[in-house]
């Protein structure tokens, strides 16, 4: 059966009878065909059984339904109900059956599906390059870093409202704790790992596996210059050693930026940072973050120094940790690893830890292998900080895929 012939002779007119709802789905469905996703999934899920609905078609239609906002399998109706436009579309039960078959195929089926998706991505990105000359750059505050592919690793807690497979009590309630990876340049998911609700946030083996899966998901030409970011306190010896090894490959560049735990040695270092060494942080527009002080004057645009509070600052702790009187306190970590701290004023009324209450700031730390020899805006601590926080935008991108 021809799975992609439906769009032949498709015409858009405004004088037809009846209403085609979710008409944008036709463009999306056409895209899944043009990138080779449908045909690739078709081969990946081919069966010797005689099936009315090609499993590749059903799976790529499921992807279209999800992109259209489907949250549960029964929402697949947005596709099933479009028979007039799409030709014969699988029913909701067939969509269920297809997913059951893939699940029953285990790791091998998953591997074949992943490889079909990655091949389609190669085709899609080649199209982006042909049309626009390059992949979109990475936005770092008001700057754009070109020629680098950014992978963002995220451990996210999701809530389950019913008893689902692998759902378990977690620190937010009950649900799953998937580990996901996204490409910041395009805002697309690269790889994901469904995990139990009780899975840890900083599990080294999972993070290493996810970093590798995300890199493998990239078209080969886009794997040579990478930026990998991971928030939380994700830095473990295993993950940093793995990223360091990938960064050391001849002909490759990999700059990582990984969240770091605030321990006693870091607190001691922070207390030693001279006030002048705290540099003001910038927001997504590249402007300093300031807010009105309590008791500021009535003119909201005023230029009085005392009326504004600088909200966030950045400083590097590497020297204090590596060359203090106690010797190298980062021995055992790669020599190229640097530690940065950001401090910000918590929202009024926020609960402060004892350490935060000392000076009223909340601290977050991360490590990076950004070369100390680097010059220019990228080396400026304010931008080192902004580069670590690209994830906030990726999360926005998940909520607003339309942009
Ligand atoms: Zn004022």
Q: Is residue 9 part of a domain?
A: no
Q: Is residue 293 part of a domain?
A: yes
Kindly give the distance from the C-alpha atom of residue 401 to the centroid of ligand 1, in angstroms, as a whole number.
41
Q: pTM to 2 decimals?
A: 0.86
Q: How far apart are CA 286 and CA 143, in angstroms?
A: 8
Kindly give the distance from the C-alpha atom of residue 305 to the centroid of ligand 1, in angstroms, as a whole number.
7
Q: Report the 10 Å Cβ neighbour count for 266.
A: 20
- The range of the structural domain enclosing residue 215 comes to 138-402
Kindly give the distance from the C-alpha atom of residue 347 to the centroid of ligand 1, in angstroms, as a whole number.
21
Give me the pLDDT at residue 178, please: 87
Kindly give the distance from the C-alpha atom of residue 302 to the centroid of ligand 1, in angstroms, as a whole number.
5
Q: Which of 132, 167, 183 is the last residue of a domain?
A: 132
Q: Record the tokens describing residue 193, joined without a space.
A: 């790992």
Give me the pLDDT at residue 398, please: 44
Between residues 79 and 313, the one the model is more confident about: 313
Give me the pLDDT at residue 21, please: 61
Q: Kindly state whether residues 119 and 150 are assigned to the same domain.
A: no
Residues 6+ apart with CB under 8 A from 386: 140, 141, 281, 282, 284
Q: Kindly state whether residues 187 and 53 are assigned to the same domain.
A: no
What is residue 169's three-state secondary structure?
Answer: strand
Q: Kindly state whether residues 249 and 332 are assigned to the same domain.
A: yes
Closest by Cα among 275, 277, 301, 276 to 290? 301
Q: Kindly state whether residues 338 and 190 are assigned to the same domain.
A: yes
The per-residue pLDDT for range 59-109, each reduced to its tens digit, is: 999 999 998 888 888 888 888 887 778 888 899 999 999 999 999 999 999
Q: Kindly state whether residues 258 and 397 are assigned to the same domain.
A: yes
Q: Kindly state whether residues 159 and 245 are assigned to the same domain.
A: yes
Give me the pLDDT at residue 402, please: 33
Residues 6+ apart with CB under 8 A from 353: none
Task: Quote the strand ranges of 149-219, DSSP E.
Answer: 149-155, 158-159, 168-170, 173-176, 179-183, 188-193
Kindly give the distance from the C-alpha atom of residue 299 to the centroid of ligand 1, in angstroms, as a whole number.
6
Q: Kindly state whether residues 170 and 307 are assigned to the same domain.
A: yes
Give me the pLDDT at residue 211, please: 96
Q: How far apart are CA 315 and CA 269, in angstroms?
A: 11
Q: Kindly state whether residues 113 and 234 are assigned to the same domain.
A: no
Kindly give the distance from the C-alpha atom of residue 314 to the centroid of ligand 1, in angstroms, as a whole number.
26
Closest by Cα among 322, 328, 312, 313 to 372? 322
Q: How many domains does the chain have?
A: 2
Kindly give the distance from the C-alpha atom of residue 34 to the centroid of ligand 1, in angstroms, as a whole number.
58
Closest by Cα among 290, 285, 368, 292 to 334? 368
pLDDT above 70 for 162: no
Q: Is residue 11 part of a domain?
A: no
Q: Kindly state whether residues 35 and 178 are assigned to the same domain.
A: no
Q: Which of 86, 107, 132 is the last residue of a domain?
A: 132
Kindly give the distance from the C-alpha atom of residue 282 to the centroid of ligand 1, in angstroms, as a whole number.
21
Mean pLDDT computed over every residue of the chain: 87
Q: Kindly state whether residues 114 and 227 are assigned to the same domain.
A: no
The per-residue pLDDT for range 260-280, each reduced to its tens digit, is: 999 999 999 999 999 999 999
Q: Is residue 200 part of a domain?
A: yes
Q: Kindly state whether residues 125 and 144 are assigned to the same domain.
A: no
pLDDT above 70 for 375: yes
Kindly give the distance from the C-alpha atom of residue 294 to the centroid of ligand 1, in angstroms, as a whole number.
11
Q: Kindly state whether residues 154 and 240 are assigned to the same domain.
A: yes
Kindly give the distance from the C-alpha atom of residue 290 to the centroid of ligand 1, in angstroms, as a whole number.
13
Kindly give the distance from the C-alpha atom of residue 361 to the centroid of ligand 1, in angstroms, as a whole number.
23
């Amino acid at each position: 059966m021809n799975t992609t012939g439906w769009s032949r002779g498709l015409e858009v007119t405004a004088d037809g009878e009846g209403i085609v709802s979710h008409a944008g789905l036709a463009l999306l469905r056409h895209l899944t065909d043009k990138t080779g996703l449908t045909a690739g999934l078709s081969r990946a899920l081919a069966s010797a059984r005689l099936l009315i609905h090609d499993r590749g078609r059903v799976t790529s239609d499921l992807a279209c339904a999800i992109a259209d906002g489907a949250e549960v399998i029964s929402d697949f109706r947005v596709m099933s109900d479009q028979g007039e436009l799409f030709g014969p579309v699988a029913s909701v039960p067939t969509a269920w059956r297809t997913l059951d078959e893939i699940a029953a195929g285990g790791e091998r089926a998953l591997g074949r599906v992943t490889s079909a998706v990655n091949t389609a991505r190669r085709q899609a990105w080649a199209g982006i390059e042909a049309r626009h000359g390059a992949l979109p750059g990475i936005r770092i505050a008001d700057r754009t870093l070109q020629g680098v592919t950014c992978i963002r690793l995220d451990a996210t807690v999701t809530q389950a409202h019913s008893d689902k497979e692998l759902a378990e009590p977690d620190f937010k309630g009950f649900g799953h704790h998937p580990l996901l990876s996204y490409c910041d340049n395009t805002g697309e998911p690269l790889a994901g790992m469904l995990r139990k609700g009780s899975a840890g946030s900083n599990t080294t083996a999972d993070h290493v596996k996810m970093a590798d899966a995300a890199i493998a998901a990239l078209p080969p030409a886009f794997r040579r210059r990478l930026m990998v970011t991971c928030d939380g306190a994700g830095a473990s010896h295993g993950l940093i050693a793995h990223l360091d090894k990938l960064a050391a490959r001849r002909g490759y560049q990999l700059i990582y930026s990984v969240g770091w735990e605030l321990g006693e040695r870091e607190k001691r270092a922070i207390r030693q940072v001279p006030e002048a060494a705290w540099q003001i942080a910038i927001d997504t527009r590249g402007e300093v973050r300031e807010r009105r002080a309590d008791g500021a004057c009535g003119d909201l645009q005023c230029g009085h120094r005392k009326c504004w509070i600088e909200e966030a600052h950045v400083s590097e702790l590497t020297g204090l940790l590596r060359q203090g009187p106690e010797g190298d306190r980062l021995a055992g970590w790669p020599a190229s690893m640097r530690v940065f701290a950001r401090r910000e004023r918590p929202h009024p009324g926020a609960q402060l830890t004892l350490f935060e209450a000392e000076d009223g700031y909340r601290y977050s730390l991360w490590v990076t292998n950004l070369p100390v020899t680097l010059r220019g805006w990228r080396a400026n601590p304010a931008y080192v900080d902004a580069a670590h926080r690209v994830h906030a935008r990726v999360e926005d991108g998940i909520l607003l895929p339309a942009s």
